[in-house]
Amino acid sequence: MSLNAYLILSALLFAIGLIGVMRRKNLLMLFFSTEIMLNAVNIGLAAVSKFYGDLTGQMFAFFIVAIAASEVAIGLGLLIVWYKRKNTINLDTLQSMEG
């Protein structure tokens, strides 16, 4: 497959994730959309890296995977605490965070 096919796939996935981030009111779906966007960037980085024969893009993709894993762990922990307090994961209730 050509580089263009991978970059088009990456752009489509990123657009789907961006639409998900902008349209969702559910925190869990917001996390999923963010993960889709990060994976789209990983596909693009790995494809360009392979096309040019350089490992730099693949190393960046590896670090993005590590950051995404920590983001999921922290985010889901916060989500569980939020659900226990408010019994909802709707973003509209997020504005009422008070100490």
**Domain boundary assignment for the chain:** 3-90
What's the pLDDT at 95? 65
Q: Which range (8-22, 33-47, 53-67, 77-91) has the least confidence?
A: 77-91
Q: What is the pLDDT of residues 13-49, one digit of tens each?
A: 999 999 999 987 787 888 889 999 999 999 999 999 9
Rounded alpha-carbon distances, angstroms, from residue 73 to 10, 67, 79, 82, 98:
24, 10, 10, 14, 23
Topology (CATH level 3) of domain 3-90: Helix Hairpins (1.10.287)
Count of residues making up the chain? 99
Q: Which of 75, 88, 73 is nearest to 26 (CA)?
A: 88
Q: Is the pTM of this model over 0.95?
A: no
Instruction: Give the mean model confidence (pLDDT) for residues 60-76.
Output: 88
